[in-house]
């Protein structure tokens, strides 16, 4: 049935093309946004169902329709597995008429999904993945990378520490695309700032016992042990470090800290730790207003990727409206030519490589005494201008 | 930093300790498998899931009922063993006379259900369970920093393993058990209730996994996947040791933990595979296993 | 006669199916059906329960994926290479595993497959958790572009039919008769002078090769090779497909694969996603306790006919 409908549609479209009518408007009479994320695993809290909520909020705030056509949101769990995610997205774009895919958490999944989307000429709206590959070595005219990336983390968190005299680094790295990318770019920053990487160990995603890795880190004699992992992995690694007394002999630095993870940690272990983030709910009235609405619906304060998912959806829908079509090329052009400006995106613009450049925040985790509420987690130490945080665009990724 | 022949003793002893801890869990689990195999001649594929269940029960007891770690350490194995008894009675026994591969598949199904159930309810990211206050902190030894709870794991699992070994090898109850293994018909003829002994043995073997689960809760976070990952390693250990002897199961478990720990120090890349490699070598040289009796 | 009609009907169905159903889904069913057929050759016809067949599926997939990505050879050569590597691995693993019987055989194969899992997790060329992404489907014989789903479907169908025919041939050959004799009564087969372990080993290699063929094909379909293919879950799934469809029957694995993949597809991604394992577990228990001949086996009993 579906295939038949498609054939008819294709026939109708070819007739339209033959008669010289510009193929404008909305394909399939609906704008469909898919949200793909880890819904129950180690990354469920930092995007997951919260990303679905955020996208739905954006659609509602936009009015539920664009160019007179309804906007529909579908979602799926990728279980952090590239095969699951890419098979789902393939079915979405080939069989179910999805126009863009939002969410996207584990960089391994995002890598596989963006390839499928680029082949199908559909847009990837990447909210929570960290790897910078999607706008560098795996860049594509259909990738939009919103919230942050590993370059921003390295420039924001690592460089100041090296400059402050912490020269010898050891990494405990999540063993897949994201961890490798973060370790790689942080190592470059360390070496160019006069520091030295004395070793690294790779731990599989979802490791629960970090003791042998912590012992390796301890034996290395490093000043700083960088945790190039995220989510529950980061929490477990930090806990084990404290158990084995590593936190007393060296600085343990989380390179990617999400508010939910920071909240779950014992302040006695985590207080004072610095982190780079793309968003913090308690920055000003605008962020507080949106975050309160989000919390009311979702039950917890937004993680940066969830806020990013909202902001990005808004920008995408606005672009469809302005371009008068949901055709991916036209929408991408429109998105890159208008500057996003909302509670999330400050001093922001979408670069031709798909990188959204905006102000990042350097924060530190508060100690127990200075927290006014359970959500009061960070002190904002500094604002990092977008052009400092993000690395410059590569010429081969300049998609105009 | 303490070194000997260029070897960092601090790091080496640390990895050995971690190895011994893993070995303690291997020993508890393979001991349970060996006891069950002895009497029922089946392999319980749900042993890993029961270990996971033990950890989750401990977590639930603490968070829903306020039952602390020490009480859980006693109650949870009993609860897990009780569930195992129901499984034996109503699922395993009806197919006791069929090919034993069916009981393997059956218990595999049980493992899938339990794992799926807990993933559905609690997600797969793992739940935190704090180290009991009495065992927080650590001791500075000359060569390393020894967290107290880790030491407790080794001590308590050794006590349980040796206690089990003593009961089976040295007491009258154990003698019945061993006799039931050798010749169930004859035992039945002597007026001993073999089905009851079989059920209780299954329950006890699984309770050991439940006990291991409670022990593991504070060091590994409590997650639905924890059982399946360790079980496959334990299977390899069972193949290495052979299931002929109770002492062999305990010894092989501890030994493989230490081998793993040493590998983590000398060549970390191989630490995940070293036990499987060991299995291959044993299969080539002594296919019945180190302590195996059958040809 | 009637059975020939059945074959013709099924073939006709397979030829028109992609015009109605999403072809990628059909290709997935075919790949898993081939995988299950390969597995069934061991379990159903030799009585050996391998709990590590994912290793061969994954090996086929990774080797094909790597060659297609790195050397750009044509897909039929990529698939051949993947299948060959799976066969070699099957040769090694088989030699080790046939040293033990029954439950031990299952545990040994599971442990060996886990060894393969860690190899693919850590080897520098497999991409670890990322897997091999963006594998090109390439041009068949350098001419026919497979990037179109319809073209790809008929290619996959041809591969499946070849594999299916191989299993059928093996089962009905004198070699297959000896395998069945081993299944029914191993001591007797020994006393008749057959070197049982050699026969088991040969069946293991054929099974591994076909599993590798399924994995190679699957990698081309999804343009991805990943750890899921070598995970023990995958080994469990293929046992389930075979058990549910009916082990020892020719069509059983096909039916089992169809049912399991449909359930997975229906539930994946949604709220029900986590129920997949629960449902699989329940099917296992029901099959073992009450439904040991599987769907096709029970059906054969019902119509008193053997489709083998």
CB-based contact (8 Å) between C31 and chain B? no
Residue C17 burial (CB < 10 Å; 0-12/13-18/19+)? middle
Rounded distance, CA B149 to CA B132, Å? 8
Query: Which pLDDT score is estimated for A24?
Result: 64
Q: Which CATH class is domain A2-8+27-148+284-358?
A: alpha beta
Query: Which pLDDT score is estimated for B26?
Result: 95
Residues A344-368 have a mean pLDDT of 93
Q: Do A34 and A75 contact (CB within 8 A), yes or no?
A: yes
Rounded distance, CA C166 to CA C205, Å? 13
| pLDDT tens-digit map of C134-165 | 899 988 888 888 988 999 999 999 999 999 99
Q: Where are the domains of chain A?
A: 2-8+27-148+284-358, 151-275+360-389
Give the tokens for residue B125: 């990211």
Biggest distance spanned by C-alpha atoms of chain B: 66
3-state secondary structure of B237: helix
Query: Which pLDDT score is estimated for B185?
Result: 79
Query: Which pLDDT score is estimated for A244?
Result: 85
Distance from CA of A85 to the nearest CA of C (A): 9
Nearest Cα to C243, choosing from A246, B244, B104? B104
Complex ipTM value: 0.88
Distance from CA of B283 to the nearest CA of A (A): 29
Query: Which pLDDT score is estimated for C264?
Result: 84
| pLDDT tens-digit map of A93-109 | 998 999 999 999 999 99
Mean pLDDT, chain A, whole residue set: 89
Torsion over CA: C145, C147, C150, C153 (sign): positive
CB-based contact (8 Å) between B229 and chain C? no
3-state secondary structure of B4: strand
Q: Report the half-sphere exposure of A301 (CA within 13 A, side-chain side).
A: 21
Nearest-CA residue of chain A relative to C131? A82
Rounded distance, CA A131 to CA A153, Å? 10
Q: Where are the domains of chain B?
A: 8-285
Backbone angles phi, psi at A103, to 5 degrees: 80, -115
| pLDDT tens-digit map of C75-112 | 999 999 999 999 999 999 999 999 888 888 998 999 99
* Inter-chain CB proximity A90 and C222 less than 8 Å: yes
Give the tokens for residue C138: 């390439």
Domain span at residue C224 reads 21-230
pLDDT at C231 over 60: yes
Of B10, B125, B268, the CB nearest to A201: B268
Query: Which pLDDT score is estimated for C271?
Result: 62
Query: Which pLDDT score is estimated for A23?
Result: 47
DSSP string, C63-103: HHHHHHHHT---HHHHHHHHHHHHHHHHHHHHHHHTTS-HH
B268 contacts on A by Cβ (under 8 Å): 201, 212, 216
| pLDDT tens-digit map of A4-57 | 444 444 444 444 444 333 446 788 889 999 999 988 777 888 899 999 999 999
Q: Do C45 and C173 contact (CB within 8 A), yes or no?
A: no
DSSP string, A307-359: HHHHHHHHHHHHHHHHHTB--HHHHHHHHHHS---SSS-SS-EE-TTSBEE--
Residues A118-137 have a mean pLDDT of 94
* Inter-chain CB proximity C111 and B236 less than 8 Å: yes
Q: Which CATH class is domain B8-285?
A: mainly alpha
Residue A229 burial (CB < 10 Å; 0-12/13-18/19+)? buried
Residue A91 burial (CB < 10 Å; 0-12/13-18/19+)? buried
Torsion over CA: B108, B114, B120, B122 (sign): negative
Nearest-CA residue of chain A relative to C274? A40
Residues C224-247 have a mean pLDDT of 93
Rounded distance, CA C124 to CA C62, Å? 12
Residues A273-279 have a mean pLDDT of 92
Percent of chain A with pLDDT over 90: 68
* Inter-chain CB proximity C111 and B235 less than 8 Å: yes
| pLDDT tens-digit map of A138-162 | 999 999 999 999 999 999 999 999 9
In the DSSP assignment, the letter for residue B250 is H
Domains A2-8+27-148+284-358 and A151-275+360-389 are alike in CATH topology: yes
Residues A62-85 have a mean pLDDT of 91
3-class secondary structure per residue, A50-75: HHHHHHHHHHHHHCCEECCEEEEEEE
| pLDDT tens-digit map of C264-276 | 888 765 666 668 8
DSSP string, C239-306: HHHHHHH-TTSSSHHHHHHHHHHHHHHHHTTSGGGGHHHHHHHHHHHHHHHH-TTHHHHHHHHHHT--
Low-confidence ranges of chain B (pLDDT < 50): 1, 295
Of A77, A82, A204, the CB nearest to C130: A82
In the DSSP assignment, the letter for residue B92 is I
Q: Do A38 and A105 contact (CB within 8 A), yes or no?
A: yes
Q: What is the second-level CATH architecture of the domain A151-275+360-389?
A: 3-Layer(aba) Sandwich (3.40)
Residues 6+ apart with CB under 8 A from B4: none
Rounded distance, CA B173 to CA B39, Å? 13
Residue C187 resides in a domain: yes
| pLDDT tens-digit map of A219-237 | 888 999 999 998 888 988 9
Nearest Cα to A238, choosing from B34, A134, A230, C217? A230
Distance from CA of B11 to the nearest CA of A (A): 6
3-class secondary structure per residue, A187-256: HHHHHHCCCEEEEEEEECCCCCCCHHHHHHHHHHCCCEEEEECCHHHHHHHHHHHHHCCHHHHCEEEECC
CB-based contact (8 Å) between B31 and chain C? no
Suggest the residue from A48, A171, A208 to mutate for an interface test with chain B (most B CBs closer than 10 A): A208
Percent of chain A with pLDDT over 70: 94
* Inter-chain CB proximity B105 and C288 less than 8 Å: yes
């Amino acid at each position: 049935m579906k295939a038949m409908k498609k054939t008819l549609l294709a026939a109708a479209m070819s007739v339209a093309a033959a008669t010289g009518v510009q193929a404008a408007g909305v394909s399939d009479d609906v704008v469909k946004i898919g949200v793909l994320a880890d819904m129950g695993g180690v990354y469920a809290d930092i995007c997951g169902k919260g990303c679905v909520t955020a996208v739905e909020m954006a659609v509602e705030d936009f009015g539920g329709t664009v160019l007179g056509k309804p906007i529909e949101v579908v979602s799926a769990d990728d279980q952090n597995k590239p095969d699951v995610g890419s098979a789902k997205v393939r079915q979405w774009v080939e069989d179910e008429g999805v126009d863009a895919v939002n969410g996207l958490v584990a960089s391994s999944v995002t890598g596989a999904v963006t390839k499928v989307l680029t082949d199908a000429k559909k847009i990837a709206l990447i909210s929570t993945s960290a790897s910078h590959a999607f706008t560098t070595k795996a860049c594509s005219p259909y990738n939009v990378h919103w919230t942050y990336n590993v370059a921003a983390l390295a420039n924001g968190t690592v460089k100041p520490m090296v400059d402050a005299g912490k020269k010898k680094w050891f990494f405990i790295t999540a063993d897949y695309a994201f961890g490798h990318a973060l370790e790689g770019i942080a190592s470059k920053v360390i070496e160019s700032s006069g520091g030295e990487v004395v070793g690294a160990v790779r731990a599989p995603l979802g490791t629960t016992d970090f003791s042998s890795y912590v012992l390796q880190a301890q034996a290395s004699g490093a000043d700083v042990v960088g945790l190039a992992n995220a989510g529950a992995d980061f929490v477990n690694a930090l806990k084990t470090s404290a158990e084995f007394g590593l936190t007393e002999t060296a600085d343990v630095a989380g390179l990617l800290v999400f508010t939910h993870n920071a909240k779950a940690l014992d302040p006695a272990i985590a207080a004072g730790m610095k982190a780079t983030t793309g968003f913090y709910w308690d920055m000003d009235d605008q962020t507080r207003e949106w975050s309160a609405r989000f919390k009311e619906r979702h039950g917890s304060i937004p993680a940066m990727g969830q806020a990013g998912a909202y902001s990005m959806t808004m920008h995408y829908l606005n672009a469809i409206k302005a371009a008068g079509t949901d055709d991916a090329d036209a929408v991408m052009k429109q998105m890159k030519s208008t500057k996003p400006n909302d509670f999330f995106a400050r001093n922001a613009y979408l670069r031709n490589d798909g990188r959204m450049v905006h102000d990042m925040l350097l924060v530190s985790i508060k100690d127990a005494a200075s927290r006014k509420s359970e959500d009061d987690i960070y002190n904002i130490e500094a604002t990092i201008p977008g052009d400092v945080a993000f690395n410059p665009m590569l010429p081969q990724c300049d998609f105009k | 930093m303490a070194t000997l022949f260029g070897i960092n003793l601090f790091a080496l002893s640390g990895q050995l300790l971690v190895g011994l801890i893993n070995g303690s869990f291997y020993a508890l689990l393979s001991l349970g498998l060996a006891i069950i195999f002895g009497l029922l001649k089946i392999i319980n594929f749900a042993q890993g899931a029961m270990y996971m269940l033990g950890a989750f029960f401990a977590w639930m007891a603490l968070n829903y009922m306020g039952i602390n770690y020490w009480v859980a350490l006693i109650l949870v194995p009993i609860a897990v063993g009780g569930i195992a008894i129901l499984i034996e009675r109503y699922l395993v026994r009806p197919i006791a006379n069929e090919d034993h591969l069916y009981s393997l598949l059956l218990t595999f199904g049980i493992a899938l259900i339990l794992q799926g159930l807990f993933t559905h309810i609690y997600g797969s990211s793992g739940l935190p369970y704090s180290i009991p206050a009495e065992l927080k902190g650590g001791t500075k030894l000359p060569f390393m920093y020894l967290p107290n709870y880790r030491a407790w794991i080794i001590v308590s699992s050794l006590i349980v393993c040796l206690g089990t070994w003593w009961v089976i090898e040295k007491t009258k109850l154990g003698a019945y058990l061993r006799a039931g293994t050798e010749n169930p018909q004859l035992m039945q003829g002597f007026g001993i209730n073999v089905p009851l002994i079989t059920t209780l043995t299954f329950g006890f073997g699984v309770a050991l996994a439940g006990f291991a689960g409670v022990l593991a809760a504070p060091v590994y976070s409590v997650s639905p996947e924890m059982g399946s990952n360790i079980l496959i390693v334990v299977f390899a250990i069972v193949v290495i040791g052979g299931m002929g002897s109770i002492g062999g199961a305990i010894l092989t478990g501890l030994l493989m933990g230490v081998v793993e720990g040493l590998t983590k120090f000398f060549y970390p890349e191989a630490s995940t595979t070293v036990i499987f490699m060991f299995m291959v070598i044993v299969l080539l040289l002594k296919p019945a296993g180190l302590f195996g009796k059958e040809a | 006669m009637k059975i020939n009609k059945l074959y013709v009907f099924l073939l006709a169905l397979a030829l028109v199916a992609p015009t109605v159903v999403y072809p990628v889904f059909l290709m997935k069913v075919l790949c898993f059906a081939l995988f299950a057929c390969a597995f069934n050759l061991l379990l159903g016809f030799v009585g050996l329960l391998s709990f590590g067949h994912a290793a061969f599926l994954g090996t086929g997939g990774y080797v094909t994926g790597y060659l297609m990505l790195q050397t750009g050879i044509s897909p039929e050569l990529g698939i051949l290479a993947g299948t060959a590597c799976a066969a070699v691995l099957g040769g090694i693993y088989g030699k080790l595993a046939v040293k033990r019987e029954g439950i031990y055989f299952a545990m040994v194969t599971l442990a060996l497959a886990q060894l393969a899992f860690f190899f693919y997790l850590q080897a520098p060329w497999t991409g670890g958790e990322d897997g091999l992404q963006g594998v090109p489907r390439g041009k068949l014989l350098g001419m026919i572009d497979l990037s179109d789903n319809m073209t790809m479907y008929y290619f996959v169908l041809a591969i499946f039919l070849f594999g299916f025919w191989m299993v059928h041939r093996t089962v009905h050959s004198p070699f297959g008769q000896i395998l069945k004799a081993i299944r029914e009564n191993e001591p007797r087969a020994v006393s008749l002078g057959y070197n049982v372990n050699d026969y088991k080993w040969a069946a293991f290699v054929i099974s591994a090769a076909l599993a590798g063929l399924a994995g190679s094909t699957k990698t081309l379909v999804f343009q991805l090779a990943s750890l899921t293919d070598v995970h023990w879950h995958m080994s469990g799934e293929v046992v389930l497909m075979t058990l549910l469809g009916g082990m020892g029957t020719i069509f059983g694995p096909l039916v089992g694969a169809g049912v399991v993949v449909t359930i997975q597809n229906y539930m994946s991604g949604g709220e029900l996603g986590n129920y997949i394992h629960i449902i699989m577990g329940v099917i296992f228990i029901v099959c073992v306790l009450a439904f040991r001949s599987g769907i096709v086996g029970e059906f054969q009993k019902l119509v008193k006919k053997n489709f083998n």
